[in-house]
């Protein structure tokens, strides 16, 4: 699977389908991150929000992990050589830190794994975070018929353009809860199709 082929069009496609809803969802809880946090961003994509985040949180340090070479290039173009950002080409297997991060951000990251895979991914990310870390999630949920239809179309599109193997949305909420996390707060967008939430360990 690779998002390289659509990286430069990804944000435009997002706005075409969701308007500003997905972007507003991703920004919604960022102000809840403590000002001097070490932040892990998984699958950060184009990083369109990163410069604004660091303007509001100038003391934060960010470890930005992204699997796509092209996505990482775009993210670097947003903030350039900002020393507060450590760009890392890789996946959850590239995280070598243990008990280091004060916050974790996953924007539309959990939805690219099967349920079998995602449980292990969550555990690897948890190992890198402090016990009291905030985990900010923005992703899709499936609670209505039209959600199912749109998800069907989305997964077929990404299967063709990125070779995404899975064909349905994993129950990421349940997997986070089963991983000894609790939901602190949530906000729904785009008719309840997009969910932003803060999770913490019990």
| Plot region of 191 (φ>0 → left; ψ -120 to 50 → alpha; else → beta) | left
Q: Is the pLDDT of residue 1 over 90?
A: no
Say which CATH topology domain 4-201 has.
Rossmann fold (3.40.50)
Tens digit of each residue's pLDDT (9 = 90 or more) over 3-15: 999 999 999 999 9
pTM listed for this prediction: 0.96
Tens digit of each residue's pLDDT (9 = 90 or more) over 126-175: 999 999 999 999 999 999 999 999 999 999 999 999 999 999 999 999 99
Cα–Cα distance for residue pair 119/150, rounded to 1 Å: 25
Q: Is the pLDDT of residue 80 over 90?
A: no
Tens digit of each residue's pLDDT (9 = 90 or more) over 91-102: 999 999 999 999
Annotated domain spans of the chain: 4-201
Query: Whose CA is closest to 67, among 56, 75, 55?
Result: 75
Give the chain's mean pLDDT: 96
């Amino acid at each position: 699977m690779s998002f390289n082929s659509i990286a430069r069009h990804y944000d435009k496609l997002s706005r075409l389908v969701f308007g500003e809803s997905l972007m507003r969802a991703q920004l919604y809880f960022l102000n809840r991150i403590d000002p001097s946090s070490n932040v892990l961003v998984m699958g950060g994509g184009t990083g369109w929000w990163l410069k604004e985040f660091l303007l509001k949180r100038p003391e934060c340090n960010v470890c930005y992990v992204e699997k796509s070479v092209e996505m990482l290039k775009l993210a670097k173009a947003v903030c350039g050589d900002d020393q507060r950002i450590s760009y890392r080409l890789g996946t959850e297997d590239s995280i070598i830190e243990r008990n280091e991060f004060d916050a974790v951000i996953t924007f539309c990251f959990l939805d690219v794994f099967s349920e079998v895979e995602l449980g292990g991914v969550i555990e690897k990310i948890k190992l890198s975070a402090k016990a009291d870390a905030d985990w900010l999630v923005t992703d899709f949920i499936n609670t209505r018929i039209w959600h199912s239809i749109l998800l069907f179309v989305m997964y077929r599109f990404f299967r063709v353009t990125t070779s995404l193997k899975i064909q349905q949305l994993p129950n990421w909420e349940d997997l986070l809860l089963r991983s000894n996390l609790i939901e602190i707060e949530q906000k729904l967008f785009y008719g309840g199709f997009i969910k932003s939430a803060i999770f913490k360990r019990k």
